Chain A
Amino acid sequence: MTTQPARPIRLRFENLSKSYPATVRAGRNATGNLVLKDIELDVFEGEFLVIVGPSGCGKSTLLDLAAGLSLPTGGRMVLDGRTVTKPGPERSVVFQNYALFPWKTVFDNIAFALAAAGVPRRTQYERVRRVLALVGLEDAADRYPHQLSGGMKQRVAIARSLSVEPEVLLMDEPFGALDAQTREDLQVELRRLWRRNNMTIIFITHDIDEALSLGQRVAVMGRAPGRVVDVVQLPFQPDAAVDEIRTHPEYGELRRYIRAVLSHPDAATQAAV
């Protein structure tokens, strides 16, 4: 099912494993808790890759490793040929629970990320304005997070991540806490932003429909230990609208297949790439 386009690789999960040390309670025979095992996955430049997996399969851990927020216990995480050892301004993370700082206004939340990335103060104003316009929140600049709806908060979080003009956007179930309507709106918006900004996106979800509507490829994970079971290449055009994708003749079959692989990893027609 996978045809690899001849594109440069941006991120490479290279034989990656992650385990946490055994807890005291686990006793001395415990070998530690293996969360991710031998992850092999290439993410191409400008690609929209969705990782779908059941809860507890370590998909958030995978994203932390890509972000440089934690380090693998085996293998390595490679970005543009270099081993990732810490977070960097070329990668930006969007979290499920927005992670906005409640003591800062919308404007200051974004300016904070810019300052942390070393953007000089005098250009910050213009850039904050620009990304707020991008997500349609020009008027909310002076509000505090608690004055915003969930959808607006996540828009601000996305704007904050885009403000540093990352090459790679890492999204950890960003729409998981939103209602269905808002979630679909934001899916459409995210597709638009992705086409426009030419970013590489890794998007994590447990929702198959979301995976199919957003991604170009879908990596399906299994758990205990967390591993990539299959990578599915989607046949949809990058500029297809979400509605077009959902009515595509292959949509139902793909959905059934991914669902089957999620519940029975052995159902995968081929080993992971």
Chain B
Amino acid sequence: MVILACVWEVISRTGVINPLFLPPFSVVVTEVYHGFASGYLVQHVMASLGRAVPGLLLALLAGVPLGLALGTSGRLNTFIDPVVEVLRNTSALALLPVFTLMLGIGETSKIAMVFYAALWPILLGTINGLRGVDPLWIKAGRSMGLSGGKLFVKIVIPASLPSIFTGIRLAAAAGLLVLVAAEMVGSRAGLGYVINASQLDFDLPGMYAAILVLSVVGYATNAALVLVETHFLRWKQT
């Protein structure tokens, strides 16, 4: 990370890449600092998070139960499986105009975009988790006298958690990606908007500052999820 920053600084300062197009790292960092000090960047980060977090939470609330239902019921699964496959291979970005058309250019359509993009990784992670449950654990649970709901809550769900968590992390990344694109196209706030608007104003330090902040937000989100994950999955072999 440090090396990357140094290389960036050097190639810009020495003119290998025109500093007009790639301002030195230190300049961008200063820009970030000013952005936060003035509250300008804070406002846009909050705008982005205000869309990403509800979208992800909704995807979680819908995806996990839906995945559990689909993964448990064989018949439901064979029926729904093709539908899921088609929908998840339909790029969320391709649907951007559709969402805008249906839900307007306001917050709702952005949150819906994040929701849509994040839903599939969570759904598939949950279904895969259920498929990966070792039948021997079920057998052991049954031999102890557990059945039905207890078996599901005490054995099937804990055994599926690793895969569900992987799905959640992929979902967060997918959600952010789509959100930025949506903000670039039709929004007056958020990091995606800042990146696009700065570029149009030829405020390149401002653009890079927003990109840098975006990377940090993505990185921090992932790190936070990993932290939660390791807490719940202490038992995993690492």
Contacts and interface: CB of A to CB of B under 8 A. Distances in A.
Say whether A and B bind each other: yes
Interface of A: 67, 69, 86-89, 91-93, 95, 97, 99, 101-105, 112-113, 116-117, 144-146, 164
Nearest to B237: A146
B139 A103 contact: no
Q: Report which residue of A105, A116, A117 has the largest number of chain B beta carbons within 10 angstroms of its beta carbon.
A: A116
Interface residues of B, number: 21
Top 8 nearest A-B pairs (CB, nearest first) are: A99-B140, A116-B144, A93-B143, A146-B237, A144-B235, A103-B235, A99-B136, A103-B158
A108 to B, nearest CB: 10
Contacts of A87: 142-145
Interface string B199-238: 0000000000000000000000000000000000111110
B161 interface: yes
The dominant DSSP class at the B interface is: helix
B144 A101 contact: no
A91 B140 CA distance: 12
A171 B219 CA distance: 50
Nearest to B136: A99
B140 A95 contact: yes
A69 B136 contact: no
B145 A99 contact: no
B137 interface: yes
Given A89-B145, A101-B155, A116-B145, A69 B139 contact: yes
A93 B140 CA distance: 8
Given A69-B139, A95-B139, A97-B136, A102 B144 contact: no
Contacts of B161: 103
Q: Report which residue of A86, A87, A92, A97 has the largest number of chain B beta carbons within 10 angstroms of its beta carbon.
A: A87
22 contacts: A69-B143, A87-B142, A88-B145, A92-B143, A93-B140, A93-B143, A95-B136, A97-B136, A99-B137, A99-B139, A99-B140, A101-B158, A103-B233, A104-B235, A112-B144, A113-B144, A116-B150, A144-B234, A145-B235, A146-B235, A146-B237, A164-B144
B158 to A, nearest CB: 5
Contacts of A67: 143
A29 B62 CA distance: 46
Nearest to A170: B143
Interface in B152-171: 154-155, 158-159, 161
B146 interface: yes
Given A91-B143, A101-B158, 14 more contacts: A86-B145, A87-B142, A93-B143, A95-B139, A101-B159, A103-B161, A103-B233, A112-B154, A116-B145, A116-B150, A117-B144, A117-B145, A144-B234, A146-B236
